[in-house]
Amino acid sequence: MLRDITLGQYYQTDSVIHRLDPRVKLAATVLFIISLFVFDGIAGYVVAAVFLAIVIRLSRVPFRFMVKGMKAIIFLLLITVLFNLFLTPGEPLVSLWRLTITREGVRLAVFLAIRLCFLIIGSSVMTLTTTPNQLTDGMERLLRPLRRIRVPVHEVAMMMSIALRFIPILMEETDKIMKAQMARCADFESGNVIKKAKSLVPLLVPLFISAFRRANDLAMAMEARCYRGGDNRTKMKPLHYARRDYIAYAFVIGYLAAGIAAGRLLAVFL
């Protein structure tokens, strides 16, 4: 159920991708996402698919594990695809009752589906191979220049890291409270929207109380361990670029070039 959401969960294993500097992975993910919207045509997507396949292979994370993460958003994906399929004006292909599927609609829907799937898989490769701590470390380092304009980079990074640590715990807690209320014959499923929203009160109130209690405990535990913000802190795992990181950057740039070139080439030949 709720625990099946793999997005944001670290998958423990040893691989080249796992060992990469988180800054590389962050930058690569951002570039990959941008590339998905820059590439506009089948050729670009083929290159993206090859790139993704290589990275997944290198990461040693079972593909099944990633697909499982998709289940959570399959609904969102379907809705977006359907909207595009039916609501894009253009040359009609099939007409069903009042809805018309157009050639442009099909094209758009397919592309969108590919983009979304790649986007999710791409970003989950990052979260699956990078511990949230590394991720926030990477982000903190990449965004460090922003501290000059008084952006609390360390604090935000710490908050994100904690949020990620507590997501699985709160998921489990949600599951537990839900079951406890179901044991008291609570009904979370039937009724109209208002009734459904109301039925969530017995779930949300205990959940918020629990989250606050945990936040309070955690703040105390952190203080007891001498936490006092980002100044004068040393790092257990400081970030240093290694040779493989430069190679990875080169590989990503190569990918971008290949994608763009493939698009151009295809356009020339057609």
Residue 93 binding other proteins, by CB under 8 A: no
What mask of x and - would describe binding to other proteins in positions 48 to 87, judged by CB under 8 A? --------------x-x---x-------------------
Q: Which of 245, 241, 23 is nearest to 126 (CA)?
A: 23
The residue from 99, 151, 209, 261 that contacts other proteins (CB under 8 A) is 209
Query: How far does Cα 181 stand from its chain's mean position?
Result: 31
Contact by Cβ (8 Å): 48, 270: no
CB of 249 to other proteins, least distance (A): 24
CB of 57 to other proteins, least distance (A): 18
Residue 220 binding other proteins, by CB under 8 A: yes
Residue 15 binding other proteins, by CB under 8 A: no
CB of 215 to other proteins, least distance (A): 9
Q: Which of 135, 131, 158 is nearest to 29 (CA)?
A: 135
Using the minimum distance from each CB to other proteins, give the nearer residue, 38 or 201: 201
Cα distances from 209 to residues 146, 170, 174, 184, 203, in angstroms, run: 34, 11, 12, 19, 10
The residue from 75, 149, 192, 234 that contacts other proteins (CB under 8 A) is 234
Residue 102 phi, psi (nearest 5):
-110, 160
Name the β-bridge partners of 100. Answer: 95
Helical (H) or strand (E) element with 202? helix 201-224
| Strand-pair category, 99-102 with 92-96 | antiparallel
What mask of x and - would describe binding to other proteins in positions 134 to 173, judged by CB under 8 A? ---------------------------xx-xx--xx----
Neighbours of 118 (CB within 10 A): 20
Name the site residues for other proteins (rule: CB under 8 A). 10, 12, 62, 64, 68, 131-133, 161-162, 164-165, 168-169, 176-177, 179-187, 201-202, 205-206, 209-210, 213-214, 217-218, 220-228, 232-238
